[in-house]
Amino acid sequence: MDGHYPEFPIVPGAILVELAVEAAFRAAPAAADTCTRLSVESARFLAPVRPHDIVSFTTDVRAGEDGDTVVRVTGKLADETLCCRTRIRISKTKAVL
């Protein structure tokens, strides 16, 4: 992460999304066990996260359309600053190509 804005290193958004997906799977383990498709429907980065910052994630799990599970994941820094919001859809149906 040293090369990600060398003068002001931050954690890349892709890492925060990956952590949000992990939080979603932990919050909805039954959905995660039957998951055949995962969609990140939205990801917003609201404040920079520095390499040594601690981010706490909270989740809100809801039933979506067609038996999908929708998990909203919110990340906050130790000082309660909102740093990211992600909406993840966990589906049981396979994607049609």
The domain spans of the chain are 13-91
In tens, the pLDDT along 19-66 reads 999 999 999 988 878 888 889 999 999 999 999 999 999 999 999 877
| pLDDT of 96 strictly over 70 | no
pLDDT in the model for residue 59: 97
pLDDT in the model for residue 1: 54
Over residues 59-84, the mean pLDDT reads 93
Length of the chain: 97
- 13-91 in CATH: which number? 3.10.129.10
pLDDT in the model for residue 94: 62
Higher pLDDT, 3 or 54: 54
